[in-house]
Amino acid sequence: MTTTETGYVGSALDRVDALEKITGRARYAYENSPRDLVYAVPVQATIARGEIIEVDVDAVLKHPGVVTAIWHGNAPRLAPSDDAELAVLQSRRVAYRGQYIAVVVAETYEDAREAAGLIHVQYAAEEHDVELRPDHARLYRPDYVNANYPADVELGDPDAALAHAPVVVDAVYSTPAEHNNPIEPHATVALWDGDGLTIYDSTQGASALRMAVAPLFGMPPAQVRVISPYVGGGFGSKGRAHPHVILAALAAKQVGRPVKLAVTRRQMFAVTGYRTPTIQRVRLGAEADGRLTAITHDVYEQSSTISEFAEQTAVPTRMMYAAPHRRTTHRLVRLDVPTPSWMRAPGEAPGMFALESAMDELAIACGVDPVELRVRNEPASDPDTGLPFSSRNLVACLREGARRFGWAGRDPEPGTRLRGRLLLGTGVAASTYPAYRASSAASARAEPDGGFTVRIAAADIGTGARTILTQIAADALRTSPGMVVMEIGDSALPRAGVAGGSMGTASWGTAVVRACEALVEELERRGGVVPPGGIESAADTKQEVRSQEKFARHAFGAQFAEVGVDADTGETRVLRLLGVFAAGRIINPKTARSQFIGGMTMGLSMALLEESIMDRQFGDYLNRDLAQYHVAANADVRDIQAFWLDEEDPHLNPMGAKGIGEIGIVGTAAAVANAVHHATGFRIRDLPIRLDKLVR
């Protein structure tokens, strides 16, 4: 569904900001240096639970270049907040190791860093608990999980159905804590001008960050401006306010000068969120032919003692396959750990690893091909809500993926194919992600020179958002992309939803289309004449989003993997990855391919490498850098391909687009794990698939 006959939507337009990026003219948060700037370096707690007795800053204040040292005893007071994570330096309590407990401000970064190391803190440490266990005494059911889904859902009598099912799979799967590691670390520059606060920040949502910061300082949102035109990746970690932003603003208020604060890579492992570890029990009951009669999916996960974040791990299980009896539950325990948060495809990534691994086990138990098993359990409507799907092309993705991958004639027997020292295996998994849309606003302006300026506070975190919004605007304005200037990344621009939940294009694009349509109508009324001052129109999609038709809206996909496992060492290499997706209309094939491949690469990394290891004695993650927290590199990604189906869905948005940023990671880890089983005959249910697990 296109907005006009121009047709730039759907073309592989080069990134409109490419020149700025490759020449270094694109300015990222840390590169802003206002006059009279000073530098802030935080001090982190070295205990996991307890109280601060004393903070000795006398020696620090005498250190060359030091402007001040701030801790709970002298920090400006913040207004109470629902998010206690943002109550920086407001209490002597320590909730987790690595929590910010002080900050040193100095004339140079080097002076601030050296002085921060001199601060002596005396604690009253208390016994801490940092271990997630399925039998933990403090487990509870949260009211809701992320995105406001109910924590538990039950239909029919799954226990009775499982008791009578001819075939049952009952297995426990686990995923470790994983940390977002975007190339650009988090950074903030904060400056006060009278009663106004300006923040240059690496954020996925300038509008949302402004709304989070303003109340803490007792200010109306209009007095806070967040500027973030370029962001070097986020993976969800920059989707919400984190303590460093508040700390920078607080320090700037205290010293009366602009403050620059960069979060180091090691600090990011404590203060900018991570994916919660999960323990998941999946039970599948089926007839002998593999048709499901019952599904249960029980999840255990963690949050911090100061803030609740409950990931929606079992939610995709509710709508993925047809089964008359089903139950999904989430249980949470509050530990002395940092607060988890969003990480690419929160809920879907770990939850679908468990479900799709269990489906592979069911296929083997029933003697049914894994692709065919999924086809047999295709629902006619959403099993959870009963709503019709706006579009659902999972079966087509499975069929097309199998054709392209060469799945036909696959020998299902595990552990029998050897090439030299490599045991070879192939696996498949399905993927899904909701097609969200949030309300946003935009303005479109016709300039006297014949060009157009479109404004919206969207965020481009490297995905190409600035480019595809330019294409969308060009079509709606019946012009070419070269005639459109797209201004984004500033909370002073019309309000925009966060770049997260794979809803950026759908949300921002709708607002851009509506603003451009209004402008075109105004120009037509004026006979195409643009006065010297230009003409501007605006739109807000709040009402449109509220009143959208009732459908279950999801993107779907299928990932296929081939692995080689060294028969002696257990080292696993992914030899081939192939994904086929149905995600509505693809706005730009070039940027879309990058998103799909990036997601699958991250899924490969999740399957084989990524793991944050908690030291129970010290209550901290041990591998807090990229030397020890391993992520997939070029050598790990040998052959990766992404394809998509032409899918028309009139029930989404004016562009007919579904989000694509996250579905690539969903399913990939399970496809790799299933391929490892096919290669070796060993089922690894606990990620990552390290060689020591296979050797054992």
Is 662 one of the annotated active-site residues of the chain?
A: yes
Structure tokens that stand for 650 in this block: 């009139």
- 524 alpha-carbon distance from chain centroid: 42
Measured over the CA atoms of residue 652, residue 654, residue 656 and residue 658, the dihedral's sign is: negative
Q: Which amino acid is at 536?
A: E
Query: φ, ψ for residue 224 (rounded to 5)?
Result: -115, 130
In whole angstroms, what is the distance from residue 438 CA to residue 415 CA? Answer: 47
Q: Look at residue 298 and give its three-state secondary structure.
A: strand
In whole angstroms, what is the distance from residue 264 CA to residue 311 CA? Answer: 26
Please state whether 37 falls in left (phi above 0), alpha (psi between -120 and 50) or beta: beta
- 102 alpha-carbon distance from chain centroid: 29
> Rounded to whole angstroms, what are the CA distances from 198 to 101, 160, 486, 499?
24, 60, 22, 21
Q: Which residues contact 25 (CB under 8 A, 6 or more apart)?
A: 19
Nearest-Å Rg of the Cα atoms of the chain is: 26
> Rounded to whole angstroms, what are the CA distances from 372 to 396, 398, 399, 408?
12, 9, 9, 11
Question: Is residue 11 within 8 Å of residue 588, measured between CB atoms?
Answer: yes
Q: Which amino acid is at 667?
A: G
Closest CA to 9 of 504, 543, 625, 654: 654
Q: Which residue is listed with tokens 């109550």?
A: 87
Structure tokens that stand for 643 in this block: 């394809």
Helix (H) or strand (E) holding 68: strand 66-71
In whole angstroms, what is the distance from residue 574 CA to residue 562 CA? Answer: 6
- Exposure class string for 650-664: b at 16+ Cβ within 10 A, else e: ebbbbbbbbbbbbbb
In whole angstroms, what is the distance from residue 260 CA to residue 277 CA? Answer: 33
Question: Is residue 76 within 8 Å of residue 85, measured between CB atoms?
Answer: no
Give the CA angle between residues 537, 500, 467 to the nearest 5°: 50
The number of CA neighbours under 13 Å toward the Cβ of 618 is 10
Strand-pairing partners, residue 122, are: 54
Structure tokens that stand for 331 in this block: 């249980």
**DSSP code of residue 148:** G
Q: Which residue is listed with tokens 């989430």?
A: 330
The number of CA neighbours under 13 Å toward the Cβ of 212 is 24
Please give the biggest Cα pair distance in the chain.
78
From the list 348, 400, 610, 662, the catalytic residue is 662
Structure tokens that stand for 504 in this block: 């950026």
Omega prior to 688 cis, within 30 of 0: yes
- 94 alpha-carbon distance from chain centroid: 27
Q: Which residues contact 597 (CB under 8 A, 6 or more apart)?
A: 640, 641, 642, 664
DSSP-assigned letters across all residues of 422-466: EEEEEEEEEEEEE------EEEEEE-TTS-EEEE-----SSS-HH
Structure tokens that stand for 386 in this block: 């009963």
Q: Which residue is listed with tokens 């006979």?
A: 527
In whole angstroms, what is the distance from residue 616 CA to residue 131 CA? Answer: 7
In whole angstroms, what is the distance from residue 138 CA to residue 339 CA? Answer: 17
Give the active site residues.
662
